[in-house]
Chains A and B, each alone.
Chain A
Amino acid sequence: MAIMSVTPASAPDLADRLRSTGYLPGESTALVSFLATRLGKPVLVEGPAGVGKTQLAKALADVLGRRLVRLQCYEGLDEAKALYEWNYRKQLLRIQADPGTAGEAAGRAATWREVQDDIFSEEFLLERPLMDAIASPEPVVLLIDEIDKTDQEFEAMLLELLSDFQITVPELGRVEARTRPVVLLTSNNTRELTEALKRRCLYLWLDYPEPELELEIVRLHAPDLGGDVARKLVEVVQLVRELDLKKPPSIAESIDWARALLLLGARDIDQDTFRETMSVIVKHRTDLDVVAERVGVKLAARSANGAAAGG
């Protein structure tokens, strides 16, 4: 077998490999991912937006040496978009392109059967992500992103896929997985998922990281940023998350902010720098007011001290 896939030996081993791809996993993240690769069970990853749920799938694909197949869910997503669809246009073309031996009744009947068999073959099947993941000859990582955005009917349809790794196509029969994909489902917890779905999955709750881990992440992605500034940045972001905001800043936004500060050449986060750059981490107008009022004020005292000390 010339498959390049890697199987991690233990959870710490997987954690190290993930780290080497630039994803810093928490302890339970590495453990649950490891269990998923060993047990072949799907993982339901829940947590607030922007804590790296999607990133985890990418990193896992990277580590395991597998292709990532991604299905982005949205309201009204149906089987045609997720599983497979017949390529109507191509089917129509096929029928029109081959009029058969016109005139002879028996010949026409035979051709009809031929055409019928022909246009419902794999050639006319448009593979959508789920079918792609199941039918793929090499093992893949399947990411079903934001499952909570879909309807409950779609969830029910997923059950067959998640427990038996097979899909039934009426015209073709059952398509069974040739290899077992590692499946990750992410959810922002906007609605309660059905018990049946949860039962089939391992569960991983990803929360905003602890300050130390976030500092490490920021450092990894903006290595040129000074240590003090990075530390302060993480402190401020954690403060901002405590507030009741429409959209609290995610890890990605901390990283963006770190890069913005780097570009501006900021040596310290004082009130002015904060006011100019806070739109990187806070994206709603009402939130901006709240943050300026509650966090900006705290920084003002510090900046005054700094100015006095500086001269």
Chain B
Amino acid sequence: MSEALHGRTPPPGEEGMAARLTDFARELRVEGVATGTSELLDALQALGEISWTDPDAFRETLAATLAKSPEDRRVFELIFERFFFHAAEAAAVREDVRESGPSTPGGDGDGFQEQAGDFDVEMLRQEIARALRDGREGAMRDLARLAIAAFGRPDEGSGVIGVDVQRIRRRLGLRPEPHPDLSPADPRRDGLPREGLRRFEALLRRELERAQIERTETLPASRPLNELDRALPSGPAQDLAAVHRVVAQLKRRLKTQGQEHRGARRRTHVDIRRTMRASLQTGGVPIVVKERPVRPRRPEIYVLCDVSTSVTSASVFFLSVLHALHDAFRKMRSFVFIERISEVTGVFERERDFRAVSEAIARDAGVADVSGYTDYGRVWKEFRQQVEDDLHRRATVIVLGDARTNGRDPRADLFAVIAREAGRTFWLNPEPRLYWNYGDSVISAYEPHCEAFECWTTGQLEDFVKALTTPRRGGG
């Protein structure tokens, strides 16, 4: 692929829709959306059937042919915005279309200041607040430009768009909290909708980016989408909706996990009774052979979760997920630990809310003893005391923790005994693999005895749940 062909600012008149779409598909692929040639052909064919003047129809058509799962669709939206915004700007630079007005730096910084001076800033603030409250997209865009003209002077600009956006937002005094002391007519009195604020920030960002492209006449390098965008919720009060989404999806997936592997390893027995019954229809000739159904595997699970401060939210989230999936397991017991362990199975039966569970565990579990630092050696010992008789070959033990012992003895020998007694042992580490075995992390001591996974994005969590519900390697 030659660089010239797919360069950021191609010469005019050389690219048709097909070439543009190919570029677009390449950006999708970089983000992990599998778009094949046949999908591209479909997209082109579909575009022939609709009018291109309606931006929504255009987008929906591309989405229907290129993005074929909810997750893909989310990535699609982000890429679509970025790609066509950049394409439009590149075309503007090529055709030398410029916006007249204050956002172009012309060396007239003084005139500018004057302009911002007699600008009624309070009025602008009120107007923006009103537009946010009513959710008027067009007005918001115009006001974002005005705001940049008023506050975003190039000599003050930091050059980093994110910083500029926050600076302008601060100067505008836009807050989601209500201000009861303002007059009733003021739109800011009841606080501004968060959704609107986010939208306005996005518009500011876009307008600043536009100005920058105009100034430098090049497009910024397209960065990969933020991986954290897809990371597991880590803050205790973080987006609960995201948690529910993940749980709901996992639940559905897990319900059918057993079946997926059924076809490949079908070793059923002929059900003589049902076969004979069916043969009555054909005069006693057993033409249709009936088989006994295969029941999906339902493991018994023991979960051990570190809830020391470094990994609390990941653990509680993980426990919530497992308990939401409770139906899929034959039996499940969960424990939390820091210096000692405590069984919390009951908490999850009572509480259904993620946050309530967090609080209940913090209040009742009483797992911190003196130092508040994780003591793995003691944890293994206490775990064996509590479940010793119960552990057998068909049980699965899952440990969630960062394996940071704070310098204490990891007691891998005790862990090995547990792993030997249980059928399968998993270790989930909420730290990226890059940090494993650095500092006081001793995961390498445990790794020989269990299957270790890194687990800090929803995708990794899903991979793990898949591994958990598929029959063990070699053993089955």
Contact = CB atoms under 8 A, between A and B. Distances in A.
A88 B282 CA distance: 7
A152 B36 CA distance: 21
B282 A148 contact: no
| Size class of the contact patch on chain A | 35 or more
B247 A244 contact: yes
B459 to A, nearest CB: 12
Given A88-B287, A199-B38, A32 B253 contact: no
Interface in A22-45: 27-28, 31-32, 34-35, 38-39, 41, 44
B36 A31 contact: no
Contacts of B252: 188-191
Given A35-B49, A151-B262, A189 B68 contact: no
B259 A75 contact: yes
A189 B253 CA distance: 8
B36 A35 contact: no
Nearest to A163: B38
Nearest to A248: B248
B46 interface: yes
A202 interface: yes
A111 to B, nearest CB: 21
Contacts of B68: 44, 198, 201, 203
A10 B63 CA distance: 18
A152 B266 CA distance: 13
B259 A35 contact: no
Contacts of B67: 203
Given A199-B36, A203-B67, A290-B352, A31 B60 contact: yes
Contact of B64 (A191, A203, A286): A203
Nearest to A35: B46
B42 interface: yes
Contacts of B248: 244
Contacts of A190: 252-253, 255-256
Contact of B263 (A89, A148, A151): A151
Given A31-B61, A35-B64, A88-B287, A205 B45 contact: no
Contacts of B39: 199
B281 interface: yes
B168 interface: no
Nearest to B257: A191
A11 B56 CA distance: 12
Interface residues of B, number: 45
Contacts, number: 95
B70 A27 contact: no
A50 B249 CA distance: 16
A152 B263 contact: yes
A163 to B, nearest CB: 10
Nearest to B260: A191
Given A44-B68, A188-B252, A190-B255, A205 B50 contact: no
Contact of B256 (A31, A148, A198, A202): A148
Interface string A35-77: 1001101001010000000000000000000000000000110
B65 A202 contact: yes
Contacts of B73: 205
Contacts of A189: 70, 249, 252
B324 interface: yes
A247 B264 CA distance: 31
Interface string A196-233: 00110111110000000000000000000000000000
A39 B39 CA distance: 13
Given A32-B64, A35-B61, A75-B259, A27 B352 contact: no
B242 interface: no
B60 A28 contact: yes
Given A10-B51, A198-B69, A202-B46, 14 more contacts: A27-B56, A31-B57, A35-B64, A88-B281, A92-B283, A92-B285, A153-B263, A191-B256, A191-B260, A202-B42, A202-B65, A203-B64, A203-B69, A205-B73
Interface of B: 34, 36, 38-39, 42, 45-46, 49-51, 56-57, 60-61, 63-65, 67-70, 73, 241, 244, 247-249, 252-253, 255-257, 259-260, 262-263, 281-283, 285, 287, 293, 324, 352-353
The 10 closest A-B pairs by CB, nearest first: A203-B68, A191-B256, A198-B68, A28-B60, A190-B252, A38-B49, A202-B64, A151-B263, A190-B256, A32-B64
